[in-house]
Structure 1
Amino acid sequence: MKDRVSLSINDGIADVRLIRSDKMNALDEQMFDAIIEVGEQLRNDKSVRVVVLSGEGKAFCAGLDMGNFAAAADPDASTDKGVPTTLETRTHGIANKPQYAAWVWRELPMPVIAVLHGVALGGGFQLALGADMRYAAPGTRMSIMEIKWGLVPDMAGTQIMRHLARDDVIRELTYTGRMFDVDEALQFGFVTRVEADPLAAAMETAVYIATRNPDAIRADKKLLDDANYLDREQGLMLESVIQDQIIGSPNQIEAVMAELEGRAANFK
């Protein structure tokens, strides 16, 4: 993991960075493993209140490493080479390994902010989609690039994109694989904010989130995630069930008292 992804945790904020900068943070098997390892570590860390995911070097992530394409085209490929005999095999709950590298951020109980710069292409774009929010630098370029290689997007992108952008936009970008810039991405709904220094902006947001009731923040994420896949009756009931769990809890009372007394909250 140490030569692919770095992790530091300070004041409830997990700073996760892709550090394969010499390859523009391209996704090889070791990168997939490292991303998942970090995600699973954070999932069980109750001290973490928000995650910031970024990439070092010239780009966030240039997509799948070319070596993986060669392995996938090998008729004798096997799990020993890091390529499963079939992607239909579920290796991580509802997902396979490449899917889970993006989906694990959706399964984390705390918010995740992705910081984009340079390029986010193919699998790198889908990796960013796994975050709750995406802050991007001016000039960032993106692409649903899989059609270039005769493939379909298969890292959970189809399940996440449909909640962010219009169906016809997703289809046009998927069918053509064309590059689109950060201004289009903002218009489409794939980018949350365009910032001259997106990492600094993401950290500022993370600091604010980390000062809020962590029980409510985690409940917010569950509610918003589940609402995407529930009908309206189930969604309304989920709101009520979660709110009943939070109202009157120690951290909720502390949030009220801190606001009334004009002081920083001391959440547990």
Structure 2
Amino acid sequence: MTDEATPVLLEKDGHVAEIILNRPERMNAITPELITGMEAALERACADAQVRAVVLRGEGRAFCAGLDKSNFARMAQPGAGLGDLTVRDRGDANLFQHAAMMWRRAPIPVIAAMHGVALGGGLQIALGADMRVAAPDLRVSVMEMKWGIVPDMGGMALMRRLARGDVIRRLTYTAEMIDAAKALEFGLVTEIADDPLARARQLAATVAAQSPAAIRAAKRLLNLVEEDREAEILMAESRIQMEIIGGPEQLECVRAGLEGRPPRFD
């Protein structure tokens, strides 16, 4: 039983914590409150000496449908209505980038169980996990181009380690929807399972049975190997996004998206 008034829930079973995106009526769409809820839940899990692994999942029909559409009208205003995205208030990241990067930077492994859809920012959140288990019917999209913007929640820093450059360009330029099989082929998910939550829990239990010190050390080492230019990429995401948001073409993308029609750029 979930409490829909709480956007993120934390549950614990032995040495495994489960962090649940809990806006099922909105397909777990991203709001600042959801991000700070994830942050608080992850901090609590990592502060618990008994927790050795985390399962991240979404309640209801989807893992995460991306940024809540109620934010897009504000995004189209000068300054995006979201403040200065280049301000670093979470280390080398802003709040929205932190939504994805927090999982990568957690001291313990995080396994995402993905079903329904993982769109835009929702996909970027999943990319921050150490592993991603997908349902066969999962659909994912680097959807930002639909709204006239670029991925700016750590997606560029994370995708570059998982997919070839031409694949990233294809997904970014087209905003096409792909299925779980194609996501696996492209490297965006780790494996496909009929019951992704059961498989994620199984993986988490296996991780939790290992030496806690060795697992934490392995994650630190793996992150260190992959961190080259990460801070530069995060800042570039924010700078480029600020150049686009609020321009006439981005305004048209937002209007078209909200009205359910193709955008017109002539």
Identify which of 17, 20, 41 aligns with 2:20: 17
Check 1:23–1:187 CA distance in 2 against 1; reply closer, same or farther (3 A cut).
same
CA positional deviation for 1:230 = 5.3
* In structure 2, C-alpha distance between the alignment counterparts of 1:40 and 1:74, rounded to whole Å: 33
Give the counterpart letter for 1:46 in structure 2: A
How much does 1:107 deviate?
1.2
Measure the CA separation in 2 of the matches of 1:77 and 1:184: 33
**In the alignment, which residue of structure 1 is the partner of 2:47?**
44
| Residue 28 in structure 1 maps to residue 31 in structure 2 | yes
* Residue equivalent to 2:218: 220
Residue range with higher mean Cα deviation, 127-136 or 25-34: 25-34
If the length of structure 2 is used for normalisation, what is the TM-score?
Answer: 0.82
2:63 is matched with which residue?
60
Q: Secondary structure at the match of 1:110?
A: coil
Q: Secondary structure at the match of 2:151?
A: coil
Helix, strand or coil for the counterpart of 1:16?
Answer: strand
Q: 2:10 aligns with which of 3, 7, 10?
A: 7
Question: Is the Cα contact below 8 Å between 1:42 and 1:108 reproduced in 2?
Answer: no
Aligned to 1:199: 197
CA gap of 1:77–1:188, structure 2 versus 1, over 3 A, is closer
Instruction: Structure 2: give runs of 5+ residues left out of the alignment.
Output: 230-266
Tell me which structure has the larger Cα radius of gyration.
1
Amino acid at match of 2:118: A
Corresponding residue of 1:108: 106
2:143 is matched by which residue type in structure 1?
A: M
How far apart are 1:39 and its partner, in Å? 2.2
CA distance in 2, matches of 1:221, 1:121: 26
Distance in 2 (CA, whole Å) between partners of 1:156 and 1:41 is 23
How big is the alpha-carbon RMSD for the aligned residues of Structure 1 and Structure 2?
A: 1.6
Give the Cα–Cα distance (whole angstroms) in 2 for the partners of residues 92 and 76 of structure 1.
20
| 2:162/2:188 contact within 8 Å kept | yes
Aligned equivalent of 2:239? none
> CA–CA distance in 1 between the matches of 2:93 and 2:43?
14
Runs of 4+ in 1 over 4 A off after TM superposition: none
Q: Verify the 8 A CA contact 1:136 1:195 in the aligned structure 2.
A: yes
* Contact 2:19-2:38 within 8 A present in 1 as well: no
Which amino acid in the other structure matches residue 114 of structure 1? A
Q: Confirm or deny: 8 A CA contact 1:28 1:67 kept in the other structure.
A: no
Aligned partner letter, 2:14: D
Q: Following TM superposition, by how much is the alpha carbon of 1:31 offset from its aligned partner in structure 2, in angstroms?
A: 1.0
2:191 equivalent to 1:158: no
Kindly state the Cα deviation for residue 76 of structure 1 after the two structures are TM-superposed.
7.3
Task: Give the Å deviation of 1:74.
Answer: 2.9
Deviation at 1:162, TM superposition (A): 0.4
CA distance in 2, matches of 1:138, 1:188: 15
Q: TM-score, normalised by structure 1?
A: 0.81
The higher-RCO structure (CA 8 Å, 6+ apart) is 2
Task: Count the aligned residue pairs.
Answer: 226
1:33 CA displacement: 1.6
* Structure 1 unpaired stretches of 5+: 232-268
